[in-house]
Chains A and B, each alone.
Chain A
Amino acid sequence: MVLGKNGFVAKSLINHLIKTKQKYVAVSKEDCDLTDKKSIEYLKPVMQGVSTVVMPAAISPSRNYLDVETTSKMAYNLSLVLEDYSNKHLILVSSDSVYGDDSNLYSENSKLNPNSFHGISQITRELIFQNSNLKNLAILRCCGIFGIADTHNSYGPNRFLRNALKSENIKLFGKGFNKRDHVYIDDVISLIDKVSFTRFTGILNIASGNSYSFLEVAKIIIEVFESKSQIELIGDEGIVREKNFDISKLINNFPDHIITNLREGLSLIKNKIA
């Protein structure tokens, strides 16, 4: 079961499931609004024939208290559905925002230190399921995901890519020195498939293991897409934070997973567009 079927991750996952001829049930907000208690009655019977539930659905990014509340409600209602199905494998697509934004090399053992409503909403979702009776819970904390089908247009590769394709200026905050890890959507989907196949449980950071400054990202995008876009520096980026990930746990659990680095991912997008 894939929840939130119109979202970036869910859509890409569904395409993959179709391509690999796997059976799935996809549920959209229109089919069943997880913030509404009625969703529980809707999902319970559907859940019967399902082995794995993939839950990317959330208000993303959660920008305020109300978004946190809505996202939490979605997770809570799903947890009520799963009360009768404690053996189902739930793959919760979470975010690296749970760690906060301090400069660090993060691993799954790092302390949770969110500094945003989004981080709080993601932790709340995690806690709801961790405190449920689910026996098979996988929490995938994804770094910024990039791909052509992105729906958020958030600051970083996705927005810069759109700018580059339209030859618009790429606007960077400050000098664009903040550093983040960006993971290619196909890698995320491939790992969700592997997590489902192996019935992995526990927490896993989904990252590439290589962080880039936003300035580097913009330059690579202009280069890969041979764009005429210019880099424009605007405003202030605050204290420069360099957020890096140690992906040893990911590699140890999925040794044959080949990580697509930023440049390769962008080249793949270019080929897809062509």
Chain B
Amino acid sequence: MKNKLTVGFYGLTHLGLCSSIAASMKNVFVIACDTNREIYEKRKAGIFDNAEPGVDEFLKKPNSFFKLTSEIQDLLNCDLIYISIDTPVNLLGEMDMNPVKDYYFNLIKIIPESIPLIILSQVQPGFTRELETERRNTFYQMETLIFGQGIKRALHPERYVLGSVDKYIPASIRSFLSIDNCEIFIFSFESAELSKLAINFFLATSITATNTLSVLAAKLGANWGDVKMALQNDRRIGKFSYLTPGLGIGGSNIIRDLIGLKNLSNRNSTESSIIDSILNNSNYMLNWITREFSYNLSFLRKNDIKIGLLGLAYKKDTQSTIRSSGLQFLVNFSKSFNINVYDPVISKISNMAESITWCSNYDDVIASSNVIIISTPWDDFLSHRFTQTIEESNIKVLIDPYGCVTSSKIHRNNINHSVIGKKVSL
């Protein structure tokens, strides 16, 4: 059955694209618009991030509810319009609100005030209230998409959180959000906007607690995997907590919100040293590979070292390399070592050192290296075939932060195997 609503999404980066595709999958007419020609042309050609599940495939063969356009006037036919550009960050990692404002002011020039506008972009508390003074019928909606799970998260939201000037939302918005049968919370602008930052802050604290304890576990001879099980079965922590250790807080989103919160806290004279600790810990974990490699370096003569780096994306299911431990290692260590690299979705990064060999599969990397570093836990590296290839190789050192390889043969082959949260004997 077709829903009569037409929903506009203005801004087609990750947030707008995944949200608009998911909306069309709910049988809602969608006008997906971006006036940025480069973005529009790419989407038209079916190009986004080939690691984000389902997006490129959808763009190449969209359903009948989805209309892609670069004409802002096409949004005039919508019952509600989302401003859905991902808020970029500046060099300090802070939100740059100007592009969101530009998109908003582009819209209000031509969209009548009777059509509700909803800010879906990531904003600082107070932002939407400022806009609402320019135009009534402006709202804020909290987004909780994740890179690598964009469409899935937009299809199955846990709840909706909206910000409104008087806790009222129009019927068109309510009707669209009701499709998902989840709870709709209507707060003040500030509460809704802060909720988004608060979620990322809590996630960051979990990541930091996990990383802090897992590194300690390895030193103490404890197995973080065991501790993790104990935590997952505690009702106050739970099975969905971020209990898998990793290489710091990758990407830009969580860091952006932490810096945003830190600035807000400073401006309002509240104590927030925990944020500095989180950022310090993230930097420490970002360098975990570097430290492990350095420890192993003492045991290998420099001239004998042939490094294979597997994975450049900061996590699986994305092409993004922002705050990627693998990329950082590559940039720093290619000054002194020859490095063979393979990532399933990043074939090459231009303007890099000539000492880097870009391979098209992991077999070539493993065959020509004696030190293997798995910096992104791609599914390929979790496969039985991958483990077998490692077992049959001549590698001496396996730096495997995520524990992709679990074979006991590794130890029998006298390979130094480093995993976050596991004691390694060298």
Interface residues of A (CB under 8 A from B): 105, 107, 109, 209, 246-248, 251-253, 255-256, 258-259, 261
Rounded to whole angstroms, the CA-CA distance of A256 and B332 in the bound complex is 10
Asked if A109 and B280 sit within 8 Å, CB to CB, the answer is yes
Instruction: Take A255-B335, A255-B336, A256-B302 as given contacts and tell me if A248 and B297 are in contact as well, using a CB distance cutoff of 8 Å.
Output: no
Say how far B373's CB is from chain A's closest CB, in angstroms.
13
Pairwise interchain contact B291-A255, C-beta atoms closer than 8 A: no
Q: Is B50 an interface residue (CB 8 A)?
A: no
Residues from chain B with a CB closer than 8 A to the CB of A107 are: 280, 283-284
- Whether A251 touches B283, Cβ cut-off 8 Å, given contacts A256-B302, A258-B297, A258-B298, is no
**B290 x A252 contact (CB < 8 A):** yes
**B337 CB–A CB distance under 8 Å:** yes
B98 at interface, CB cutoff 8 A? no
Cα distance, A83 to B335, chains bound together (Å): 33
Residues of B within 8 A of A251 (CB): 287, 290-291, 293-294, 332
Return B219 CB to nearest CB of chain A, in Å.
11
Known pairs A246-B284, A248-B287, A252-B328; list 12 more (Cβ under 8 Å). Answer: A107-B283, A109-B283, A209-B294, A246-B287, A248-B290, A251-B332, A252-B332, A253-B332, A256-B302, A258-B297, A258-B298, A259-B294
In the assembled complex, the Cα of A261 lies from the Cα of B299 at a distance in Å of 12
Is B378 part of the binding interface, using a Cβ–Cβ cutoff of 8 Å? no
* A255 & B283 in contact (Cβ 8 Å cutoff): no
Q: Given the complex of chains A and B, what is the CA–CA distance between A247 and B297 in angstroms?
A: 14
Contacts of B358 in A (CB 8 A): none
Cα distance A246–B280 in the bound complex, in angstroms = 11
Query: Are A255 and B332 neighbours in the complex by a CB distance under 8 Å?
Result: yes
Asked if B127 is at the interface (CB within 8 A of a chain A CB), the reply is no
Can you list 20 A-B pairs, Cβ within 8 angstroms, ordered by A? A107-B284, A209-B291, A209-B294, A247-B291, A247-B294, A248-B283, A248-B284, A248-B287, A248-B290, A251-B290, A251-B291, A252-B287, A252-B290, A255-B293, A255-B333, A256-B302, A256-B336, A258-B298, A259-B294, A259-B297
Closest A residue to B305 by beta carbon equals: A256
Which residues from chain B contact A247 at a C-beta distance below 8 Å?
A: 291, 294
Chain B's closest residue to A210 (CB) is B295
- What's the Cα separation between A248 and B332 when bound, in Å? 11
Return B364 CB to nearest CB of chain A, in Å: 23
Number of interface residues of B (CB under 8 A): 17
B323 to chain A, nearest CB (A): 14
Q: How far is the CB of B279 from chain A (nearest CB, A)?
A: 9
Q: Taking CB as reference atom, which chain B residue is nearest A198?
A: B335
Whether A256 lies near B290 (C-beta < 8 A) is no
Contact residues, B278-310 vs A (CB, 8 A): 280, 283-284, 287, 290-291, 293-294, 297-298, 302
Chain A residue with minimal CB distance to B332? A252
Q: Report the separation of the CA atoms of residues A253 and B328 in the bound assembly, to the nearest whole angstrom.
A: 11
Residue-wise interface mask of B (23-41) relative to A, using a CB-CB cutoff of 8 A (1 in contact, 0 not): 0000000000000000000
Query: Do A261 and B280 touch (CB < 8 A)?
Result: no
B290 touches A261 (CB 8 A): no
Which residue in chain B gives the minimum CB-CB distance to A252?
Answer: B332
Asked whether, in the complex, the Cβ of B298 is within 8 Å of the Cβ of A261, the reply is yes
| A-B complex: 5 closest residue pairs judged by Cβ atoms | A248-B287, A256-B336, A252-B332, A255-B336, A255-B333
Contact of A248 among B291, B335, B336 (CB under 8 A): B291
User: Which among A209, A252, A258 is the interface contact of B302 at CB below 8 angstroms?
Assistant: A258
Interchain CA distance A107-B336 in the complex, whole Å? 23
Max chain B Cβ within 10 angstroms of own Cβ: one of A209, A252, A256, A261:
A252
**How far apart sit A259 and B302, CA to CA, in the bound complex (Å)?**
12
Instruction: Name the B residues within 8 Å of A252 (CB-CB).
Output: 287, 290, 328, 332
* A111 to B, closest residue via Cβ: B276
CB of B92, distance to nearest CB on chain A (Å): 15
Cα A253 to Cα B331 with chains together (Å)? 10
| Chain B neighbourhood of A261, CB < 8 A | 298
Give the distance in Å from the alpha carbon of A209 to the alpha carbon of B294 in the complex: 10
Shortest Cβ gap from A99 to chain B (Å) = 14
Chain B residues near A109: list those with CB within 8 A.
Answer: 280, 283
